[in-house]
Amino acid sequence: MMSWPEQVVRVQSLSESGIRAIPNQYIKPLTERPVFELGSQSDRRVDIPVIDLRNLFGNDPILHLDTLIRISTACRHWGFFQALNHGVSHELMRRARLVWRDFFNLPLQMKQEYANAPTTYEGYGSRLGVEKGAILDWSDYFFLHYLPVSLRNQSKWPEQPSSCREVVAEYGCEVAKLCTTLLKAMSTDLGLKEEYIENAFGGNNMEASLRVNFYPKCPQPELTLGLSSHSDPGGITILLPDRDVARLQVRKDGDWITVNPVPDSLIVMVGDQIQVMSNAIYTSVEHRVIANSAKDGVSLAMFFNPKSDLVIKPAEELVSEERPAVYDGMTFDQYRVHMRMKGPCGKARLESLKFNSPK
């Protein structure tokens, strides 16, 4: 079985040890470090898309269309938006955060029972990628398979806190409904049949997984990152961001923009497979997480991905003489190897899939 190249260090344990300086293995090269501006980010006057989804579920055609247009604009120009009235119970969101915070607060020894390996990544982890000597991120995580049911193995989900498995099942179910609604909206907007993306992703065999990120306090947040720059490799991600601290940054026209989470919102992110399938009409969002010295935090990222052995390529309806296929087709299994071996690398992987890219 493939294992980690170095002894695994839990970032939470490092943080709780009270060190004042972070170990070298977490110090990013200068160009990757975050810039903490003196003035507030809002000086920049960028309007981060916030979309009320209420009318997507309703039956007023005009309001439905208006919502669709907002989603369309966000997916084409940003690859992300903050969603309100998304249908996921706020109380369930609160419970999901709490139960995972409680998990990370368990004694280390209990969490170690779920220690993961790079073969499937399922379980309790502290790094992405297996390159010896890689610069690591200031976070720990728990990764589990949610869908299809055949891949779901609840014995790999935490047994403690006692409500964890139940809360994950319930939360996943509600978020999956939202995902279905969004995939329909995106397909329609792209001029495809409503079920197109869902079917291309394998219909009932579509895969869903959950990564719960734990961001421990960091004594030198200016030197490292909570999570390095990447775009999510799969279809779409529905992120329940940390509640207390604005940690997520998205890249827009080369600039890093900090997202101040709107209370009770969920963040929707377009992943690489949808950029490919839309023949680059939609863009996947490059994003990262900055570290914080004052507060730790928890976020839940639910990934909806194509069934891993299906070839994902630009939809034929979106390929023409004027707009030739931008990307080669590839299965998600092949695609995600890169992230699993090398860790987060901005959008480099997607670039390499372009027809004219140097191979």
Residues forming contacts to Ni ion in the complex (CB under 5 A) are 232
Question: Which parts of the chain are beta strand (E)?
Answer: 50-52, 80-84, 123-125, 140-147, 207-215, 227-230, 236-240, 248-252, 255-258, 266-270, 287-289, 297-305, 311-312, 330-331
Contact 327, 280 (CB under 8 A): yes
247 near ligand OGA, rule: CB under 6 A: yes
CB of 299 to ligand OGA, least distance (A): 3
Alpha carbons 112 and 256: distance in angstroms, whole number: 35
Alpha carbons 349 and 273: distance in angstroms, whole number: 11
The single residue among 287, 313, 336, 349 that binds ligand OGA, judged by CB under 6 A, is 287
239 near ligand OGA, rule: CB under 6 A: yes
CB of 225 to ligand OGA, least distance (A): 11
289 near ligand OGA, rule: CB under 6 A: yes
Closer residue to ligand OGA (CB): 158 or 344:
344
* DSSP state at residue 247: -
Cis peptide before 263 (omega within 30 of 0): no
183 near ligand OGA, rule: CB under 6 A: no
Task: Show contacts with ligand OGA in window 21-80 (CB under 6 A).
Answer: none
- Which pairing describes strands 255-258 and 50-52: parallel, antiparallel, or unpaired? unpaired
CB of 251 to Ni ion, least distance (A): 12
Closer residue to ligand OGA (CB): 279 or 292:
292
* DSSP state at residue 197: H
CB of 292 to ligand OGA, least distance (A): 12
CB of 3 to ligand OGA, least distance (A): 22
Q: Residue-wise over 181-211: b if at least 16 C-beta within 10 A, else e?
A: ebbbbbbbbbebeeebbbebbbeeebbbbbb
The single residue among 164, 179, 248, 326 that binds ligand OGA, judged by CB under 6 A, is 248
301 near ligand OGA, rule: CB under 6 A: yes
* DSSP state at residue 354: B
213 near ligand OGA, rule: CB under 6 A: yes
Closer residue to ligand OGA (CB): 14 or 259:
259
Residue 289 phi, psi dihedral angles, 5° rounding? -125, 130
302 near ligand OGA, rule: CB under 6 A: no
String of DSSP letters for 113-146: TTB--TTT--EEES-S---TTPPPPS-EEEEEEE
Residue 349 binds: one of ligand OGA, Ni ion, none (C-beta under 5 to 8 A by kind): none
CB of 109 to ligand OGA, least distance (A): 25
Return residues touching ligand OGA (CB under 6 A).
Answer: 211, 213, 227, 232, 239, 241, 247-248, 287, 289, 299, 301
